Structure 1
């Protein structure tokens, strides 16, 4: 491995503890958000700590966009790795005010290497009104926004986020998520985002690594990976796909928006996004039904032609999971095995899908 390698994140680590082993070998994109996803104890945070240099895995290798941070001859300690780290609990200095916390983060970086100004970080996280406040007097959501801003103020070449919303209730999560999306859109900084929450991953990630038992058991672009029938971690009621779409039209009378994706259009509740705005739609397998002929006289607004790709037995013996393709886009449907048998579903068969509910992800 050397600095001439193509851009991206190359991580190879092996660790053995009593009762736990980490063994990963990954090539990850050098831009966008990569989610490290899995149940508690799957190795997500240990992998993140190895990347940060907080865990030393002898023999491990790590390069970030061609810059070697660890190999057989090199081990950069954490303070020499150009990264930002956001923890579950914002690790702020409680005796300092917000301004001083941010300046502490910025001082880690020589002036010549500062690519993100304090003003940019403050504006993006909307914390200008908090600068003079002591951190001990901040709410949980405010603390986390300041923690993200401080990480940005280090002008990181890689941003690590370890379940940054796990300590927040639902309302505060909804407050923070738009700021994380702005981070994704406004800064060309690759992000590794640890989470066990499928809704966060659906909203944030471009790429996903599925962790289980200290190993990366699946990795790839979010849409393709979530649509795999052999996805090792079973998502239960959260099984489904996430599709990139654009607002094609808005129906003001009925407060609906038509979202166009690679293969068709679906109606969703209108959230006020203008025509032409890109957004994601999430379609859960439980909300998709299948018919051999077009169905009329129904309350379901979304009916699309599709082709059966494959099917597999689901977790419960009464159910089956069917993978379909709508144009260029994958779709999953959860059916009873009786229904699938009655429809005589087979790969290559042309069918019609009805989608009962579509979640718009802003």
Structure 2
């Protein structure tokens, strides 16, 4: 399914003028507070009537101001998951889920309901009330309720923002399953680079109401010109790989296009595909293959782009095999080493620098 968005709307202090197309999967809207992310999602949901625009999922047109077509929110076949689960406190989880089914064109059958329950890992919660659930459990139930309404598009407005780190780590694998096991397009709002790196198929970067970059997640995240949008301390690229082996010293070996990557042990079996986020600040560069150092990941690379920052740093884009990663080094180091496009070098990454939260399903 293809999601097509064209929205223009003037607000006090912000003019939203955003357009993008995204394929099936999770489309992440990323931007700082006030960039227009929630305004855009509310326009898609029908909670805001924009000055002009058109939004469609394949041939299902939600609104088109040029044709004076406007579906009210209850006819848009959308599921909406907010920052808080917004579950009915007097209902059990089972009844909260069945409430979502009331809005489906055809009530979900037992098999469909069981699949959603299993996919989200909430079977043991069915007889509990929301007051007895953790934040992560509430959000999983909220996602389940939205799915059982049989939506044609799922909207998620910073659904993990209110959760602490352990609860985020708990729910992310379930959201990966949602991405991988359904053909439902998802519009996902977040200001967390880690979240979008784990989940996104497509990334759309908003700044002051305008789209500054849009495209496949690996492509956008590895773009050195996008570093200011994500912040120099958060910038990092995605590398797809496959688990080659688990070693007895607690490391997992991942085969990537440019060699092997050692990371802290993963629980998945050898042969499992995954993607690893490597933060730019954790990549060092060397002109010669370094010897006698503790870092285990030393990968041949070629410099493809160098983008100066506003401070003393530069973002260096590197090609390793068929993949692109980023390194953040000082301008002084770049000048001293003669870093420029076409230069052959080595990228050095500490194994322990790859955090558990930066490794996810391949998508």
State the TM-score, normalizing by the size of structure 1. 0.93
What is the CA–CA distance in structure 2 between the aligned matches of 1:170 and 1:116, rounded to whole Å?
33
Aligned to 2:331: 337
Which residues of structure 2 form unaligned runs of 5+? none
CA-atom RMSD, angstroms? 1.8
State the partner residue of 1:138: 133
Residue 261 in 1 paired to residue 256 in 2?
yes
8 Å CA contact retained: 2:9, 2:52: no
- Superposition deviation, residue 166 in structure 1: 0.7
Counterpart contact for 1:114–1:154, Cα < 8 Å: no
C-alpha distance in structure 1 between counterparts of 2:148 and 2:262, whole Å: 40
Answer whether contact 1:267 1:358 (CA < 8 A) is retained: no
Separation in structure 1 between the aligned mates of residue 40 and residue 329 of structure 2, nearest angstrom: 37
Cα distance, 1:127–1:211 mapped onto 2, change above 3 Å? same
Q: Does residue 66 of the first structure (1) align with residue 59 of the second (2)?
A: yes
TM-superposed deviation, 1:138: 3.0
Q: Report how far residue 180 of structure 1 moved.
A: 1.0
Local SS of the residue matching 1:276: coil
Instruction: Indicate how the Cα distance of structure 1 residues 133 and 113 shifts in structure 2: closer, same or farther if over 3 A, else same.
Output: closer
Three-state SS of the structure 2 residue aligned to 1:102 is: helix
* Displacement of 1:140: 2.2
- Aligned residue pairs total 353
How many angstroms apart in 1 are the aligned matches of 2:267 and 2:12?
53
**How many angstroms apart in 2 are the aligned matches of 1:325 and 1:352?**
10
Find the aligned partners of 2:132 and 2:293 in 1 and give their Cα distance. 54
The answer to whether the 8 Å contact 1:124/1:179 transfers is: yes
Q: Is the Cα contact below 8 Å between 2:258 and 2:300 reproduced in 1?
A: no
Superposition pairs of residues 192-211 of structure 1, within 5 angstroms: 192-211=187-206
- Of 322, 328, 335, the residue aligned with 2:322 is 328
The 2-side partners of 1:234 and 1:199 are apart by 10
2:84 alignment partner in structure 1? 89
Q: Taking structure 1 as reference, are residues 163 and 340 closer, same or farther at Cα in structure 2, changes over 3 Å only?
A: same
Q: CA deviation at 1:53?
A: 1.2
Instruction: Write out aligned runs for 1:171-250 (5 A).
Output: 171-231=166-226, 232-250=228-246
Task: Indicate the residue corresponding to 2:39 in structure 1.
Answer: 46
Preserved CA contact (<8 Å) 1:257 1:268? yes
Q: Which residue of 77, 102, 111 corresponds with 2:72?
A: 77
What's 2:354 paired with? 358
Helix, strand or coil for the counterpart of 2:139?
A: helix
**Cα distance per residue 1:248-290 (max 9 Å; x no partner):** 22222x2211112222221111122211101111111111111
**1:160 equivalent in alignment to 2:155:** yes
Distance 1:68 1:300, change over 3 A: same
Alpha-carbon distance, 1:115 to partner: 11
Q: SS state of the match for residue 54, structure 1?
A: coil
Q: Distance in 2 between matches of 1:135 and 1:305?
A: 52
TM-score (norm 2): 0.92
C-alpha contact 2:205 2:212 (8 A) present in aligned 1: yes
CA deviation after TM superposition for structure 1 residue 342, in Å: 1.5
Pairwise CA distance, 1:122: 1.6
Which of 98, 102, 120 is matched with 2:97 structurally?
102
Partner residue, 1:4: none
